[in-house]
Every structure is written in structure tokens, then in C-alpha cells.
A and B are shown apart, each in its own frame.
Chain A
Amino acid sequence: MSNAFIAFQKNDDSRCIVEAILEDNPNAMVDDQPSMVKIDVPNRLVIKRETVEEKMGRAFDLQELQLHLITISGHLDETDDEFTLSWNS
């Protein structure tokens, strides 16, 4: 099984996003690097708008991820409610 991953610049918004990812992806692994944080999840990584909103305490549009992203790995599927990265293998 391959890992899907996503990396963010470290800031207050991305801290909430990372928390949301950890909650929604029980197998997530966090890799802390200078000024950035990378999260790997076997096969499928999902970011749910609702969970992020909960963590942030405000409305959140998944397209706001654009502001903090550094890199991703996996096929991307984006809807109004979920941002998913996955491998088919």
C-alpha cells in the first residue's frame, strides 16, 4: 500500500487543518520539518470541511487550502465538502 501525503506551511490555519486530518484519518503520520509539516496516510487521505470548520470555529472553504499547501501526493478529488488524495493500488 502506498502513502498519500500532503504538506503545509506551519501557521495557525494549517494547525487546525492538521488537527482535522488527524481526527478524520486514524492512520495519519505527522512529520515535522523546519517551517513545514507533512502528513502521510496509507492509501487515502481525506480533509473534511466540517471538521476543519469545527477546529477553526468559522466557515471554511476547502479551496482555502490553496493558501497553505506545499505539496501533495495521490489522485485528487475535490468537492464542496471533501478534499481527497488517494492511490488506486
Chain B
Amino acid sequence: MTMLKTLAPYEFKSRDALENYKGRQLVYINWERHRMFSRPFVVALTPDTPFSTIIAQMAECFSYHPDWAQIDWDKALWQNGKNSFTPDRNKSLAENGIGHKDLIRFRTPGLDGIAGTGY
């Protein structure tokens, strides 16, 4: 239950409500144990964007890391938030069950960053 105390009615919409993105949605992407990139990145995409677009955006950013070229894509593990899932590259975000402000966590077992530091 809220503990907010106010002197007058206090109701405001979320600043990041889906409707503010004019047909697009937010998606966050993180490459686990590659903290050189400091934090996940965010993109705004339409729900019918194919998942392959996300992979292309990942490549654009993450390929700076020497581990990127070493990835065994068959062993890669994906999570949407806390839940594991296996994305279909050719299907859309919506079809892959990816909603507004979902966090995609990408794991590459065996690759633990520069000198195994997690970076």
C-alpha cells in the first residue's frame, strides 16, 4: 500500500507509458558478464520488428568486445527478465513475447569478458 502523503489529490500518468512512444515500445538489452558496456542499452522499436533487428543492434555495439567473434550462437542463452526463452530471429518482438520495457539478458556460457573478469 502506498505510503505517499499529499496535501491534495495526486494522480499522474507514467512518463514512460506505452502510448507516449507512438506505436513503438522500449526494449532493453544486456550482454551478461560483459560489463565493459557498463549498462544495458535501450531502443524503441515497433512490436512487429523482427528479433533479428535486435541482434543487429547488439552486433553494432557489442562487436567491440573480443568475445563477440567467439560466440557459439547455439549455446547462447536468453532471458526475458527472469524467464528463459529462445527467441526466433525471424519472428517479431510481439511474437517472441517481448513487451514494453522488457529486459533481454543475453548469456554466452564460457565467455566471461576480458581475462575472465566479467568485463
Q: In the complex, is A directly touching B at CB under 8 Å?
A: no
